[in-house]
Each structure stands twice: as C-alpha cells, then as structure tokens.
Structure 1
Amino acid sequence: MNKHFSIIAKQLALGEANAFEFKALLNDETIGAVVCGLLNGQGGFVVIGVEDDGSVRGVENPQIAASSLEKHLKQSIKPTVLFSVDVQAFDGNFLIVVEVPSGKDIPYAYQDTIFIRKAATTRKADVETIRDMILRKQVAPERWERLFSPELTPSELSVAACRRLLKESPRLPGDVNEESDGLIHQLSLLSLAKYGRLTNAADVLLAQNPQKRHPQARVRAVAYHSKTDQNYQDLKHFEGPMLEVIEQVIGFILRNTPTKARFSNQSNQRDERSLYPEMAIREGVVNAFAHRDYASALGGIKVEVSADQVQIWNSGGFPEGVTVNKLAKGHISVLRNPDIAHALYLQGYMEKLGRGSVLITQACREAGLPDPVWQSKASGVTLTFKNMEATTEDAMEATAEVTTEVARLIEVMDAELSRDELQQKLGLRNNEHFRKHYLKPALIAGVVEMLYPDKPNSPKQKYLLSRLGRAIKLKSRS
C-alpha cells in the first residue's frame, strides 16, 4: 500500500493491515466481482472514488450511488450475506466504502459466478478451487444460530418483531418482500428457517419468549452507587424478541447514568444529555448481542451501571483473529453469528461492521470521556465506559501508591515505545534493573500496558500508557 493509500486508510478509520481494493469509478459488475472474491477469502474493503495512483476523485451523488450499489449487490450475491455500503467524506470529496467480512457460507457467487482473490487481483474460481471450498464447508461444524430451535413453531413468533423485520426493514431485499409463499419461505431467504423449520437465530430474534428454550437469551442489568451497597439502585431481567430487549437495555443504561448540562451557542437553553454518548452506548449494546456466544446455557449478557462506569459483558471471547489492538485501529469484521448480525443490519441496527469500536472511541473522546476499554477472556468480553470524574479519583489514589521509578516511567512515555526506547529515555543501561524496578511494577499497577498483550515476548513488543497511566500523567502536570 503506497503512502496515499495509507493516509486514506487512516482517515477512514480502517486499519492499514486490512485488505483494500481501490476503484476510481463506480461499476456495479466490477465491484460485485471484488466483493464476491473478498467474501470467499478473508474479507476487506472496497473504496470507490480513488485513482490507481492514490489520488482522490470522489463520487458524484454519493448517497444515491451507494443505495443503488447496495441494492444491486444484495440481489446479485448468493447466498444472502451481510456487508455494508457507506458514504465517507474525505478532503472535500465523498467516497463509497464497501465493508466485506470474511464469509461464513462459502462459496459465494456473484451473478452465478464464483470469484476469488489471488494476491490483490480478482478472478473466476476454477473447478478445483470450488471443490475445495465445498469440501471445507462440509467438514465445518454447523453454527449454533443455524441449528433447528427445539419446539419453536410459527405461532410462537412475535407478530410485531416479524413485521419489523419483514415489512419495515429499510434494507430488506426485494425477494424477501414477497409474501405469497408464506412466512417460513420469507425467513428461509434470510437463513432463519430451512426445510420448513425455524432456526435458533429466528428464535432469539423473533420469538415472544425465546428464554423458554434458551435461558441464556435473558439479559441481566443492575445499577448501584458502588459495589459495596447493600441495595441495588435498579435491577432488571429483560426477555423477549431481540430488538425489544436491545431497546430496553439501552434505556436502562441511559436512565441510570448521570446527565451533563450543555448550553447551545445559539441560545441560552440548557440541554441535558446523558454523560455517555447514546451512539456509543447503543453501538456497544448491539455489538454484544451480535457477537456473543449463544451456544452455552450458562452464557448471556450482563450490564452493570455505577457512578464511575458502565460495563457491558457478553459471553464468548473475541473471535479468532480479533485483538484489543485491532479493535482500536479498525479491522475486518469476524462475525460469530452472521445470520443474527444480518437481521440487525437489515433493521438499521448495525452500520460499521469493523469500525464500531473506532466510532465508540471517537464519540467518547468528543464527549470528553476516557477511551473505552475492551477486555477479552475465555468466558467473555467486557466493554467498559469510564466517567472522567471517577478516572480523576482513581488517578489521585494511584498516584500515592506508585513508586518514584514508576512515576518517572509514566512521565517519559509519550507514544508507543519499545523497551530499548524507554531505557534510552530514562538514561538506564542495566536491563534487569529497568525490568525489576520500572517496567514490571508499572505493568502490575496497570498504568502501562503492552501493545501486543497476547504476545508478551514478541520482538516487536511496545508499551503505552493505560487509561489510568494517562490520568496520572495529566494530574501530575496540572
């Protein structure tokens, strides 16, 4: 990727390690073949409105063009799959960005032709490649969302939830709109039914009481002033069709978090808004539903709201290939539940498939909040939003506890630095002394973190200040 492409990738919040295809002109057939090839591979991005030399020419009437392209791709690519078509402003021009996850149901075909990516080119798949794809698909374990839901019948589906998906969805493909063949046929076109039976995905998305068959579909939400309180400020268990539960969870968080007063530049009107940006909370909640592991009856989603933070936990660690570092930089989506995610996308609940984490971070920064923190363990993923006032209090407590050596380390850290670079900044030559008295205590105290925590001994390892470390540094300079 040349320098121009790197700049474009950075400004569009797309990690430079992702796969890119740049197109100067909007040509449905050319782009359709590329999207198909990416689906059959590792996914990637198609950016339209960029010349081969990296110069930006933009796209005319971008919203109309993007809508037309999206409709064409959805009609021409089979089987049904989730991807996003988005308009992005760039240096006074508009680009169209097609974000393509790695497909789960290969082989995909565009206008009845299977395409693959070879290096940076797109070509038709030969017979041997297609045969290999089919064999790999046959040995892959079937996803939980594709399994038949036990004892679920069409009469147990929520009429309102079905109407919202099949009649009111802004992105619903035209063939799904056709009601003459019945509800089950419509749902089968969205991979929510097969052989006349409903799937687990249909159950958690559309059933009136999915928790009867899947207790892990319940969501527990609790609000308290502090974890030492004897009584909860608010405690709820949410059940029902997924979109109803999503809205209830978002409402729970917003009503139990402080508000912040703002005054408009045009008037003296006081504007009360939630401390945490609603867009960021909404994106975090939706991602928990889309990416969680539904297979275990012990799994689920939990929300905890306190005076200093909001935490959203969902069962199942990061999908293979996703790390905290990749989340921060934007990454190709790795979808654990593509059928569920597709239904959420059709209803306008998922937009930026691999950039949601970047947008959440940007929204928090614009609101004057610390960066959100993702933590992944085998049991699940936790997203934490921190209150700035609480961060300041944490910093005050931590400042009194850190050693003089750790305080010096915090002061010199102004970027992602290697061990050698840190020692040079501190003027230290003894490696063991640096490790024992500076680096190790800083990591234990949580004021410094690794750039690659899953590879602690990597020769490319670098270190950066954590949220707490940045707060301590800011306090020391105030």
Structure 2
Amino acid sequence: MKVKKIDKDEKHDLEFKQNWRDEYLKWICAFANTHGGSLYIGVKDNGEICGVKDYRKLSEDIPNKILQAMGLICEVNLLDEGGKKYFRIDVEKYPFPVSYHGKYYKRSGSTTQEVVDNELDKMILAVQGRTWDSVPVPHVDVADLDNDSIKLFKKMALDHNRLDSKALDVSTDVLLRNLRLFENDYLTRAAVMCFHPDPEKWVMCAYIKIGFFADNDADIIYQDEVHGSLVMQVEKTMDLIYTKYMKALISYDGIHRKETFFFPKEAFRELLLNAVIHRDYTRPTPIQIRVYAHKIRIWNIGKMPVDVPVEKLFKPHSSEPRNPNIANVFFKAGYVESWGRGYKNITDVCKLRKAKLPIPEENSGGLVVECPPSRQYLDAERKQGKIIPYEDAVNPTVNPTVNPTVKLSKNQKDILVKITENSKITLTELAGLLGLNRSTIADNTLKLQRLGVLKRVGSDKTGYWEVIF
C-alpha cells in the first residue's frame, strides 16, 4: 500500500507534527508574528500522513486553546486521507505582536524562536509596518547635521541625475522632508545616521573598523576606525582602503601610468555600500574590514532575509533592505543603482576587470564577503618580480622584492629565496648558506611569520616552510 505524503518540505511557513501538544501553541504564535503559515497535526517530519486518534476531541480543544491563550481565531481544518484523520491549522499574519504566556515567538527558517530584547523591538516595528530607521529621534535638529555631508549628498545626487537642481536648491529642512527623513517634526534615525557628524551619540558602534592582518590572522599590523556620518564613512573608507591598505602595482602603457589593484575598486564599493545599508544597527558591533596581502574580507552584523539566502545573491532577486530609508538616501545620491542589483553590478565589474568574484557566506550572525586577488594582479606581480603565493608559483622567483604592503630587510628577502628553493630547509642550513648566525635566522623567520609572509607547517623536525605571498 502506497504511503500518502504531503509533497512539501518544512519551511518558515510550514510545520509538521505527529501529535498535538499544547506547547505547539508557540508555533501558532510564531506564525502570527512572522508571515503566517500552516501547522499540520498528524503528519511526520518527512511529510508522511500518520493521522491522529483523538481527532473529535482535538477538533474542539485546538480552536479553544488558541483563542484562550492568544486571542486568535484560526482555521482548524480536519482532513481525511485514506481513513487517516489529520489537521491543518492555517494562521494569518497578525497586524499586532502576539504573545503566548507573556512571551513572543517568531519563525526563522524552519525553526520557532523566542523573541527578546532588540529582536522584540524590531518585531513590534515590523508588525506596525515600520522599520528601525524610520523611528524619530528627539533632541536633534537640522542645525546639528553635518554641512559637508549634506553638500556631498547634493553634489552626488546632481552628478548622477537622481535629483535636479530645482529639487536640491531648497533649505536642508525641506530637502530632508522631501526625502521622508522627518516623522512629524522629528528627524528620523535615517537622517541622523546619514548626515549627523556623530551618529554614535544615539547608536553604539556606528562606525567602520579596518585592519591590515598577517595571513595567519594572529597579528594585526596596523588599523584604523572610520567615524562620522554614513555618507562620509563610505568616502573615507574607500580612500583608506585604496591608498593606505591596498597598494597598487604600477605599470606603464607608453607614457600612461597604470594602477592595478588585486580587487576592483568599483566592486568593493558595492560591497561596502551593501554592508552600510543592510547592517543591523540594533547590534553594538561595527562593520569590520580585514585586509591581507592578497585578499580582503568585509563583515557586517545582520542575518540574511529568509527569501534571499546567500546562494541567491548572484542571481536576480527581490531586494529587502533592512534600512529602506537609509537605502533611499544612498540611491538618491547615486551610490547605488537600484535595490537588488548590487551583486549583478559586482559581477559585471569583475568580468570587465578579469577579477574573481567575491565569496559571500553567513558567519557569526552576519554576512562576510571575501574578495580574492585577480589573476591579472598576480600576473602583474610575477612580471614585476613581487613575492607571489607559494601555491601559485610555477617558477618561483629567484629574487623576490618587496611587496608594496610589507617592508622586508635584505636578510629576510634572502631567507625567502632559499625557502622557495627548498621548503624543508632547516634554520641551521639557512645560516650556513647565508653566512649568518642561527639566532639571526631564527629571529628573522619569526618576524616573517608575524608579517604573514611565511608559515611553518608541521613540526620543527618533519614540517616544511610555506611562503604565503
């Protein structure tokens, strides 16, 4: 006899349970607080219909318990499949927060979770049809905003034809009202974040942290913090990354100077804008950018929308900006073309520049994107005799020179030459070949490891050296 199944998988709006338990009222509460959904009783996790025995009693008990516990009226449908009775409880999304025994629940993927603290605040805003950045902020006036940020916005908006001169030739008060950055007579969080010189007065850790790391992640060589309005943070961060942190390889096409970065500037700008616009500002964690000799990683706190998992980012998808009012400011300024097209633009730029696509993944409650070096950059390094990743070295250079981001002494360069020739060379053998004391060799190999240029794999006796870049 063929087993009857429901040909659907459990997800954010669908749940299967074999028997009824009162604790499943939490699932109904979660559906009401999220997107609505259906709870099946008498169905196994794999969708197989097993039925319930006490269906007559449950037909009365379930609706009454839902009403008494949460004040909700849900459709409780008794279904029959080959004599097996089972229920489908259909729950609508409610326009107000629903609690069960004084606690609030929501759906996250195919799980039910209790909502507390900042998440509860966000849920209350969501059911009211509002977002975090639309909330008014007392005790701040238009006069408190940063004039340079306002001027930059106007220039960008005009240059990109997002707003004409007539729309921009107005007072700051009128401009912000036209951008929907007022709630009655109060500036909103979006206005404060985008244009106030110190948004951290209201929002903890609303800044960007940048660090240059050795490839082993153990040592940070130098670092910066970028504060100020979000508009200015984007500009300052891009300038820092592409002048101080990511050094260009210089070449000449005739008399024309050519700069080659290991990751395209236009593509990284899109990633930075995504981080700024989609960051969860209720969490006290700054945007973090880790720069290495041959890669850059950018991380922002905030989970991906259920309907837009990481694997869909490079495909056409709808946009669900966590902060739509902040997103609108950057759209009107011409920083972003249209919502949902960021990764399409990144793909186009990387294809044009012959660069590798960035690699996004969910990590530590947020999104981290790693940007690898382009083949064009690595080829340019080879031509200029720069140190290159050991695994990419088909014919290792016999005379490596200083990478633009790391300063090496003559002894350190000589050590790397010998190690590229023989990865299992010992400190004693290096000392003999280079005419140096063993302690000098040991001291310099340690410094190279701290710089992220050199890595020791395995034990001192049986291991080997690996040149990182």
Give the TM-score taking structure 1 as reference length: 0.48
Q: Which has more radius of gyration?
A: 2
Give the TM-score taking structure 2 as reference length: 0.49
